A and B are shown apart, each in its own frame.
Chain A
């Protein structure tokens, strides 16, 4: 890896919001042609720093200097930074699903327009060219919505390349990708690097950073903690964690002694049909069981059908149920609605908390009591004191960091929001808690706390189902892991003996047999 002279220096950047110092005298130096990673906990200031660089926070709203290619630059807006060669790809992709790849690539039309009229032939030719540079062999007339997330990510990069970019900033680029697509993306970044492109990578995924970055800036509490250079020695994940969190974590996962009892929840031959596409089954005769005090994991690639299965069980809130039974304590029950599910002691913490788990207009207090509101109300009138008490209790028990329970949930960090959602479901006192990607988008410190909470749930004798795309997480927390592939449960493994490879094999296995459906008592 030949790394050149300094291309970007951000010196003593300070950004203050009312009451908060988001960035405090942060300095970062990036060399030409390197992949520079920035990591830090949620709220550390990573995104803020990149927003300063890309002009989202224009010159004048921060202190400090930015020197790009030897010049002191003042960006008045995003366009100015793009002109200077800085392109940022956000976590939420800025593509228009209904339009084609070509249209998205030249969204302003400026590069291929003369006097306002767009030359589509030229646009298409250049689109093919750009797609080749990111290794995408697709028809540029395909609509974005018909591409997979991984491909969309690459289109975004192609879009940035179209703008003659010098520094490419990627904010959590692989967070929504499966392992294959993530690997592919990293390869593309490597190949772009070899052609001289400089990239800045913000990521939580420490293993990826360790694999690809040339240098790493660690930011904690708005301050630069240290900059590690990868060719000076081996940078390990633990080393990075220590920098980010300020303490060593003995292990990523809290220690837990399982106390597992008898099976109490069982699903047999559950079949679910796709809501829009008749005939397409998203769950094909799935069967599984959960024991008291047990944490059961569900591993699978994106699109395997785990979320669909879980939501269907949870009151048939996804797709059309086409058969199967649920048995609780050995007795068959019918659960046709979400309310029925709650009444039977099932809780479901959704994958996407912002769109499915929270009403962003609500306060912490309102959210915590919302699923179990029947408990604290009589004839539809809510007992406000009981609501206050319950919210305070869970807020403390879950260690939610906020000024008070009357704060709006929209203002909380990702980890705290997830804790609020968890509290909401714990308030319903469930017997089975289904957690769908419970630590997605949450920093290392908060993840540890949530693992601890999951363990506590198990210790209370509840059953926990954990759906996750992070195999290390599943192996570190669960007692038993089912693997799912294309709607079928392909395997059941003991977490103590399984490995990432063995799980991955079962997650991609096409010749399947269902695990034992009889409950061993």
Chain B
């Protein structure tokens, strides 16, 4: 066996040492050089450089929220593109924000919560000054909202409360508890008017998706009107499903409501029991329930709804669906844009509810808009062609409204 030759190895080794030091030094130099080339103090290089304490244009006094320049970017983060109201909102935000001189950045988070998280991040990076958030899940955006706050951005919670975070500045919505109350009262009025073979009346309850914070005020508002009538026997619930949990509809999905209603009808109404009324939190679920009832061969119940969807308006006109709620999206968006304009100019926002909305960390000042109940009685005149053009058109196109002239 040959004696191994080490001389080459030791030369290699010292070569190695030299190379190593050279490379490491080079790398460190590269990092420092780049750092040195940029500005020495580490500001945020993403473009939104405003400081968080109201140093802005014009107003001398400390303003409620940081002011900003006129042509700024405004971010609007909407949930999934699942209902006409949201699609309408997207269009309106784009038009109205542009008209007000801002640069709108409106996104739908079709792929869920992480999509929305990333989109909000992108809006921060793009330098938005205000972000309007229609949350998919209002409790899971905390990190992004924190980052936004640190960049001096004002956060407006739109229609759905942002919970579990201190970093939300205001909540703009239609008064959802009032919506619930209107629905409860409408159900009672409808039963009195149309189901003259009672009291007592049999009703069933439908609630919204358990992960939507708004489902609770809808249900509780309605129950505040209905519960006394249940207690005194005027109203009965044959299926026994009385709690919001039992009545909820995952994802606000029509098929879930229909499946549940099918099961309730089969179990409780198969042998002659009459179903007089259904409390439904919105139009989609109302129509799903109506389909279920029709498939079971039962007569049309008194049913409530919400959102004034184009498909439900003819049903309101001919009385199949007793009521819906108009939360005029146009007025809603206009209100938000007005608020944004006020913030930009440093004016104080007048909130009309600073007590009710505790999001788990703080009480969020709210600006509530009044919802409008729509039944056959006022369907032809309830919709303003200026702010709800398609709803108005749909109503006026029905035979009922045409016959009224």
Direct contact of A and B (CB under 8 A): no
A residues in contact (CB < 8 Å) with B:
none
